[in-house]
């Protein structure tokens, strides 16, 4: 078996220390006498980076030499969080670093805390991509991630007077984890026009000419696997003006300033991550980002393939490309373009290669219609004239075959066409992605069923059910257990005899044998309590509010969205507050103290989501200062929720809320993080909650609310029948409208959405069941003994939700790739 050898390891803490000192004095050009925590962080990271890169080189050499099939994961988002802690743990050198840093006078937690999150994503979709990279490397798969190197990640959220304010996240001033590759560049063309010309062989070919060129520069980020030397690559593209010749005329005519301005425009492409999730706004710059990234990545992939001098037919045997949502769908068109326009292949052969088995796979992450990508035909024509022609040809051949298959059905052609015949006409990216991919998958069972029976129903008829499949999401236990909750990880390791469970999470099931072990249960409960104390301390520091760590911690942290129903939660909190207020002091004494914790960002243009944040804060400032209430209820909104904060919050929850309207949350992944850390969940029958229930058992989860199958009828009834508001919810509304929480005007829209505008998200329909289920939570929590049993049992049954399991399913069912471990 492989043992971590001389390459990535520091032989001793002394050696590590020497490397840190060397980096402080040379790379950072400072003296050890003024080495502050920031400098110590930088030097520590550089020391680890040096070691990773040796493994990275070997991994790449091995993969090139073996020339086996590679996976390319194309994602516009990689929500990586911090890298140092992860790197130290994955190479198994955290203790060495801890000792070395202590010797230099630093506490390792303080050093880790200096790192800025790499926040190149919005939420679940981007974090999933990051978990997948960790699993791919840990399981020794030859895999690359491709993305954009945004100068600004997701904005930082500040809460000012209860309102969200967005602050730019300029994170690149010093990033030791990236390697600029100024020699790895791709020229990417935009605009211009297409000419048909006859070539030497008398064949008519398309030539795309004119327009502008933007240069893509590669930045590589090493991705270390856990307990393996495999170190994969995440390649992020940065845009740069093509420089020189273009502006020569202007330069000569003295128009220097405007030529500089033009250069700067080119560089804006990779400037900013779009902060919407689940809302498509059709911005030109976003389409430019997509093509820029897709064109650079494909050029790179093709360049690598061509080095092996294989025939084009073998391309699908060498390359699997996974499309993370429809954002990289242009890759399908771009590959077809390369094959016919650049490589001179015939259309049919080219299209056979493009759609070859285990070539392109497309993962769908949402059924919300407002999130499905569509681009105006005119915009595509202007930006990518040749691609639009190819899209039209793909569509023509596709519709011809559908017509043959369903000669009597005219409507189906309109429904499945890649072009929507609307005003203006639109390119439907999901349709293009399905037509060009050999497999389409959803991210949880319910979600995968829903796409087959609703938005992609016609395509199941056309291609048969085999093109559609499910891969239920997962999370990496390295970051979300070992890193975020080291004490729990060590306790588990001590009972299971090793850390092997971190790479084979199903081994957790052995914990079930210990649910009656008194000592074990005590330690389990102590760890949860310690994690709550740590969060309470963080809450005190950031909000000034004292919370009682013995109270039940009830957490909902995720992007703010009406479908995720933070409004249901805060209405429930108000209901609890009113109930407590109505009690006598003697009755109150018998109640269980609770802390309601919220966190999450609203898209800057999502007005309703911002009102929800405002209401949560307004309720907090009333409740937290009410002397009748004291410890019995505290309401917190934690500013700027991100990956590194999730690592503190997840281990500290007793119960977390995953309460989307049934059928709207494709999967959810934080539900898995909370349960893996010994928290229970309250949730609807939605997304992965359903499979979590299947695994952990109905006794170890709190489910409530209407089912997905009933949603349509309920919505119909709201609109066309009568809609009576739940009486308890009506009282909550009255209280808000009395002005108890201020800003009556601001909150009226949230109330109207339920009362007057059809209650699309079924807040009133589910309210009663939600409140009753919270009562069950309180009751269950009173029996601490049983609660701990539930907590242990649930963790023991979470093995299925490792992202390692996902990667094996993709590798087997979609990519047809094998791991490539090092054998020495
Ligand atoms: C859409 C758009 C539209 C244009 C602007 C930028 C942007 C960014 C992201 C998206 C995709 C939204 C879909 C999404 O994030 N889905 C989430 O995926 C998670 C991982 O599969 C899943 O757990 C969540 O349930 C699902 O909401």
- Helix axes of 744-755 and 607-623: crossing angle, nearest 10 degrees: 120
Cis peptide leading into residue 424 (ω within 30°):
yes
Partners of residue 703 on adjacent β-strands: 683
Q: Is the CB of 611 under 6 A from ligand 1?
A: no
Reference 486, options 12, 29, 63, 95; nearest CA is: 95
What is the count of structural domains for the chain? 3
Tell whether the model's pLDDT for residue 245 goes beyond 60. Answer: no
Q: Is the CB of 668 under 6 A from ligand 1?
A: yes
Tell whether the model's pLDDT for residue 40 goes beyond 90. Answer: yes
Rounded Cα gap, residues 216 and 42, in angstroms: 27
Helix-, strand-, coil-residue percentages of the chain, each rounded to 5? 55, 15, 30
> Which ligand 1 atom sits nearest the alpha carbon of residue 443?
21
CA 798 to ligand 1 center in whole angstroms: 24
**Nearest residue CA, atom 16 of ligand 1?**
365
**Nearest residue CA, atom 20 of ligand 1?**
125
Per-residue model confidence (pLDDT) at position 399: 98
Rounded Cα gap, residues 56 and 787, in angstroms: 45
Q: Is the CB of 277 under 6 A from ligand 1?
A: yes
Active site residues: 365, 558-559, 564, 669, 673
Examine the domain organization and report whether 31 and 178 are in the same domain.
no
Tell whether the model's pLDDT for residue 6 goes beyond 60. Answer: no
3-state secondary structure of 582: coil
CA 277 to ligand 1 center in whole angstroms: 5
Q: Is the CB of 278 under 6 A from ligand 1?
A: yes
CA 600 to ligand 1 center in whole angstroms: 15
Cβ of 479: how many Cβ atoms within 10 Å?
Answer: 26
Examine the domain organization and report whether 159 and 54 are in the same domain.
no
Rounded Cα gap, residues 746 and 709, in angstroms: 34
CA 3 to ligand 1 center in whole angstroms: 39
Q: Is the CB of 489 under 6 A from ligand 1?
A: no
Rounded Cα gap, residues 507 and 499, in angstroms: 10
Tell whether the model's pLDDT for residue 219 goes beyond 60. Answer: yes
Residue 483: DSSP 8-state: I
**Nearest residue CA, atom 18 of ligand 1?**
125
Angle at 607 between CA 604 and CA 613, to 5 degrees: 85
Per-residue model confidence (pLDDT) at position 173: 81
CA 413 to ligand 1 center in whole angstroms: 28
Cβ of 661: how many Cβ atoms within 10 Å?
Answer: 26
Examine the domain organization and report whether 46 and 147 are in the same domain.
no
| CB burial readout 622-643, b (16+ within 10 A) else e | ebbeeeebeebbbbbbbbbbbb
3-state secondary structure of 30: coil
Q: Is the CB of 276 under 6 A from ligand 1?
A: yes
Per-residue model confidence (pLDDT) at position 259: 75
Per-residue model confidence (pLDDT) at position 252: 65
**Nearest residue CA, atom 8 of ligand 1?**
277
Examine the domain organization and report whether 615 and 671 are in the same domain.
yes
Cβ of 579: how many Cβ atoms within 10 Å?
Answer: 16
Tell whether the model's pLDDT for residue 255 goes beyond 80. Answer: no
CA 225 to ligand 1 center in whole angstroms: 26
Cβ of 180: how many Cβ atoms within 10 Å?
Answer: 13
Examine the domain organization and report whether 661 and 696 are in the same domain.
yes
Rounded Cα gap, residues 777 and 787, in angstroms: 10
Tokens of 5: 């050898």
Q: Are 552 and 781 in contact (CB under 8 A)?
A: yes
On the 0-12 / 13-18 / 19+ scale of CB atoms within 10 A, 116 is middle
Q: Is the CB of 670 under 6 A from ligand 1?
A: no
Examine the domain organization and report whether 6 and 132 are in the same domain.
no
3-state secondary structure of 434: helix
Examine the domain organization and report whether 222 and 106 are in the same domain.
no
CA 548 to ligand 1 center in whole angstroms: 35
CA 243 to ligand 1 center in whole angstroms: 36
Q: Is residue 483 part of a domain?
A: no
What is the mean predicted confidence (pLDDT) over 803-815? 98
Examine the domain organization and report whether 107 and 123 are in the same domain.
no
Tokens of 177: 């984890």
Q: Is residue 285 part of a domain?
A: yes
CA dihedral 341, 345, 349, 350 (to 10 degrees): -30
Average per-residue pLDDT for the chain: 96
Instruction: Kindly report the backbone phi and psi dihedral angles of residue 249, in degrees, each rounded to the nearest multiple of 5, phi listed first.
Output: -60, -50
Per-residue model confidence (pLDDT) at position 280: 72
Between 350 and 824, name the one with better pLDDT: 350
Please give the model's pTM, rounded to 2 decimal places: 0.97
**pLDDT band (50, 70, 90) for residue 393:** very high
Rounded Cα gap, residues 667 and 366, in angstroms: 9
Q: Is the CB of 157 under 6 A from ligand 1?
A: no
Q: Are 587 and 667 in contact (CB under 8 A)?
A: no
Tell whether the model's pLDDT for residue 756 goes beyond 90. Answer: yes
Q: Is residue 642 part of a domain?
A: yes
Tens digit of each residue's pLDDT (9 = 90 or more) over 697-751: 999 999 999 999 999 999 999 999 888 999 999 999 999 999 999 989 999 999 9
Phi-psi region at 187: left, alpha or beta (left = phi > 0; alpha = psi -120 to 50): beta
Instruction: Outline where 67-214 has alpha helix (H).
Output: 84-90, 94-103, 108-112, 124-138
Q: Is residue 425 part of a domain?
A: yes
Q: Is the CB of 666 under 6 A from ligand 1?
A: yes
Examine the domain organization and report whether 48 and 194 are in the same domain.
no
Rounded Cα gap, residues 108 and 84, in angstroms: 11
Per-residue model confidence (pLDDT) at position 8: 66
Per-residue model confidence (pLDDT) at position 314: 96
What is the mean predicted confidence (pLDDT) over 577-583? 98
Tokens of 151: 């100068």
Q: Is the CB of 653 under 6 A from ligand 1?
A: no
Q: Is residue 293 part of a domain?
A: yes
Tens digit of each residue's pLDDT (9 = 90 or more) over 322-377: 999 999 999 999 999 999 999 999 999 999 999 998 899 999 999 999 999 999 99
Share of the chain above pLDDT 70, in %: 98
Lowest-confidence region among 191-200, 574-583, 680-689, 696-705: 191-200
What is the mean predicted confidence (pLDDT) over 3-29? 87
Phi-psi region at 734: left, alpha or beta (left = phi > 0; alpha = psi -120 to 50): alpha
Examine the domain organization and report whether 38 and 16 are in the same domain.
yes
- List, edge to edge, every strand of the sheet that includes 360-363: 179-190, 212-224, 231-241, 143-148, 70-74, 319-324, 360-363, 439-442, 468-470
Per-residue model confidence (pLDDT) at position 358: 87
The label of the residue with tokens 């439907």 reads 428
**Nearest residue CA, atom 12 of ligand 1?**
278
Tens digit of each residue's pLDDT (9 = 90 or more) over 294-318: 999 999 999 999 999 999 999 999 9
What is the mean predicted confidence (pLDDT) over 471-475? 98
Examine the domain organization and report whether 776 and 669 are in the same domain.
yes
CA 74 to ligand 1 center in whole angstroms: 14
CA dihedral 345, 348, 351, 355 (to 10 degrees): -130
Tell whether the model's pLDDT for residue 526 goes beyond 70. Answer: yes
Reference 323, options 460, 472, 433; nearest CA is: 433
Q: Is the CB of 129 under 6 A from ligand 1?
A: no
State how far the alpha carbon of 634 is from the alpha carbons of 597, 600, 617, in Å: 8, 18, 11
CATH number of the domain that 77 lies in? 3.40.50.2000
Tens digit of each residue's pLDDT (9 = 90 or more) over 423-454: 999 999 999 999 999 999 999 999 999 999 99
Rounded Cα gap, residues 585 and 17, in angstroms: 59
Q: Is the CB of 290 under 6 A from ligand 1?
A: no
Share of the chain above pLDDT 90, in %: 92
Partners of residue 598 on adjacent β-strands: 556, 637
Tens digit of each residue's pLDDT (9 = 90 or more) over 488-500: 999 999 999 999 9
Q: Are 548 and 533 in contact (CB under 8 A)?
A: no
Secondary element (H or E) of residue 495: helix 486-496
Q: Are 770 and 575 in contact (CB under 8 A)?
A: no
Q: Is the CB of 324 under 6 A from ligand 1?
A: no
Rounded Cα gap, residues 789 and 517, in angstroms: 10
Q: Is residue 29 part of a domain?
A: yes
Per-residue model confidence (pLDDT) at position 710: 98
On the 0-12 / 13-18 / 19+ scale of CB atoms within 10 A, 799 is buried
Q: Is the CB of 371 under 6 A from ligand 1?
A: yes
Tell whether the model's pLDDT for residue 251 goes beyond 70. Answer: no
Per-residue model confidence (pLDDT) at position 248: 55
Rounded Cα gap, residues 337 and 328, in angstroms: 15
> Which ligand 1 atom sits nearest the alpha carbon of residue 668?
23
Instruction: Outline where 211-346 has alpha helix (H).
Output: 248-252, 256-267, 284-307, 315-318, 330-337
**Nearest residue CA, atom 4 of ligand 1?**
280
Tens digit of each residue's pLDDT (9 = 90 or more) over 20-33: 999 999 999 999 99
Tens digit of each residue's pLDDT (9 = 90 or more) over 656-685: 999 999 999 999 999 999 999 999 999 999
The label of the residue with tokens 């502008």 reads 212
Substitution site in 74, 78, 121, 123 for ligand 1 pocket (most atoms within 8 Å of beta carbon)? 123
Rounded Cα gap, residues 552 and 783, in angstroms: 12
Tokens of 814: 């979609």
Which residues constitute the domain of residue 30? Answer: 1-66+83-116
Per-residue model confidence (pLDDT) at position 200: 85
Examine the domain organization and report whether 200 and 225 are in the same domain.
yes
> Which ligand 1 atom sits nearest the alpha carbon of residue 687?
25
Reference 271, options 283, 254, 257, 255; nearest CA is: 283
Rounded Cα gap, residues 573 and 578, in angstroms: 9
Tokens of 523: 């330690």
Cβ of 820: how many Cβ atoms within 10 Å?
Answer: 18
Q: Is residue 748 part of a domain?
A: yes
ipTM of the complex: 0.96
**Nearest residue CA, atom 3 of ligand 1?**
280
Per-residue model confidence (pLDDT) at position 281: 76
Rounded Cα gap, residues 574 and 581, in angstroms: 10
Tell whether the model's pLDDT for residue 1 goes beyond 60. Answer: no
3-state secondary structure of 22: helix
CA 126 to ligand 1 center in whole angstroms: 8
Per-residue model confidence (pLDDT) at position 247: 53
Q: Is residue 519 part of a domain?
A: no
> Which ligand 1 atom sits nearest the alpha carbon of residue 473?
21
């Amino acid at each position: 078996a492989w043992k971590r050898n001389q390459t990535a390891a520091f032989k001793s803490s002394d050696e590590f220390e020497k490397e840190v000192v060397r980096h402080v004095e040379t790379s950072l050009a400072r003296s050890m006498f003024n080495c502050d925590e920031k400098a110590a962080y930088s030097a520590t990271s550089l020391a680890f980076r040096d070691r990773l890169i040796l493994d990275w080189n070997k991994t790449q050499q091995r993969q090139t030499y073996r020339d086996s099939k590679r996976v390319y994961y194309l994602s516009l988002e990689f929500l990586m969080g911090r890298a140092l802690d992860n790197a130290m743990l994955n190479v198994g050198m955290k203790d060495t670093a801890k000792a070395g840093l202590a010797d230099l006078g630093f506490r390792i937690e303080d050093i880790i805390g200096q790192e800025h999150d790499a926040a190149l994503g919005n939420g679940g979709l981007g974090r999933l991509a990051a978990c997948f990279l960790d699993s791919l490397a840990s399981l020794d798969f030859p895999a690359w991630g491709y993305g954009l190197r945004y100068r600004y990640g997701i904005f930082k959220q500040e809460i000012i007077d209860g309102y969200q304010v967005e602050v730019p996240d300029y994170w690149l001033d010093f990033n030791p984890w990236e390697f600029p590759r100024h020699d790895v560049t791709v020229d990417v063309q935009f605009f211009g026009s297409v000419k048909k010309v006859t070539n030497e062989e008398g064949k008519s070919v398309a030539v795309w000419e004119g327009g502008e060129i933007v240069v893509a520069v590669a930045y590589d980020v090493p991705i270390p696997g856990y307990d393996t030397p495999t170190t994969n690559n995440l390649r992020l593209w940065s845009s740069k003006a093509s420089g020189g010749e273009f502006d020569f005329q202007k330069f000569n005519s003295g128009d220097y300033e405007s030529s500089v301005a033009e250069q700067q425009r080119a560089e804006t492409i990779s400037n900013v991550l779009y902060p919407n999730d689940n809302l498509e706004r059709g911005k030109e710059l976003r389409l430019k980002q997509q093509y820029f990234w897709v064109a650079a990545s494909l050029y790179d992939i093709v360049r690598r393939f061509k080095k092996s001098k294989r025939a084009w037919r073998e391309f699908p045997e060498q390359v699997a490309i996974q499309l993370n949502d429809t954002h990289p769908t242009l890759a399908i068109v771009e590959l077809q373009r390369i094959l016919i326009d650049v490589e001179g292949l015939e259309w049919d052969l080219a299209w056979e290669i493009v759609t070859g088995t285990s070539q392109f796979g497309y993962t769908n992450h949402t059924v919300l219609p407002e999130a499905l990508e569509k681009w105006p035909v005119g915009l595509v024509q202007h930006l990518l004239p040749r691609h639009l022609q190819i899209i039209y040809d793909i569509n023509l051949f596709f519709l011809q075959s559908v017509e043959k298959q369903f000669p009597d059905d005219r409507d189906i052609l309109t429904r499945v066409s890649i072009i929507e015949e609307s005003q203006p006409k639109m390119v439907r990216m999901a349709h293009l992605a399905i037509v060009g991919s050999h497999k389409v998958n959803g991210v949880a069972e319910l979600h995968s069923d829903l796409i087959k029976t609703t938005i992609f129903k016609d395509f199941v008829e056309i291609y048969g059910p085999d093109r559609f499949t499910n891969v239920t999401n997962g999370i990496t236990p390295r970051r979300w257990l070992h890193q975020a909750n080291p004490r729990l990880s060590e306790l588990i390791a001590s009972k299971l005899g090793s850390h092997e469970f971190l790479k084979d999470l199903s081994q957790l099931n052995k914990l079930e044998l210990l649910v009656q072990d008194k000592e074990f249960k005590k330690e389990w409960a102590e760890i949860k309590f310690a994690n709550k104390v740590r969060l309470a301390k963080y809450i005190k520091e950031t909000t000034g509010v004292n919370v009682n760590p013995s109270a039940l911690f009830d957490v909902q942290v995720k992007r703010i969205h009406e479908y995720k129903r933070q409004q249901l939660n805060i209405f429930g909190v108000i209901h609890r507050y009113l109930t407590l207020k109505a009690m006598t002091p003697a009755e109150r004494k018998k109640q269980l103290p609770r802390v309601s914790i919220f966190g999450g960002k609203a898209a800057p243009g999502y007005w309703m989501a911002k009102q929800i944040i405002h209401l949560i804060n307004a309720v907090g400032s009333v409740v937290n200062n009410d002397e009748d209430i004291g410890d019995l209820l505290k309401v917190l909104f934690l500013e700027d929720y991100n990956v590194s904060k999730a690592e503190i919050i997840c281990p500290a929850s007793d119960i977390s809320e995953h309460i989307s309207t049934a059928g709207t949350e494709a999967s959810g992944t934080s539900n898995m993080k909370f349960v893996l850390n010994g928290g229970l969940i309250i949730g609807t029958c939605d997304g992965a909650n359903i499979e979590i229930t299947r695994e952990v058992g109905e006794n170890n989860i709190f489910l409530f609310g209407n089912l997905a199958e009933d949603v349509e009828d309920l919505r119909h009834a709201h609109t066309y029948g009568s809609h009576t508001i739940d009486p308890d919810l009506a009282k909550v509304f009255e209280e808000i409208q009395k002005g108890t929480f201020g800003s009556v005007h601001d909150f009226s829209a949230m109330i109207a959405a339920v009362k007057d505008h059809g209650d699309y998200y079924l807040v009133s329909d589910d309210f009663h069941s939600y409140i009753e289920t919270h009562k069950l939570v309180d009751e269950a929590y009173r029996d601490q003994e049983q609660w701990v049993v539930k907590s242990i049992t649930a963790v023991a049954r979470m093995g299925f939700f490792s992202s390692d399991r996902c990667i094996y399913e993709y590798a087997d069912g979609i990519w047809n790739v094998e791991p490539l471990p090092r054998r020495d």
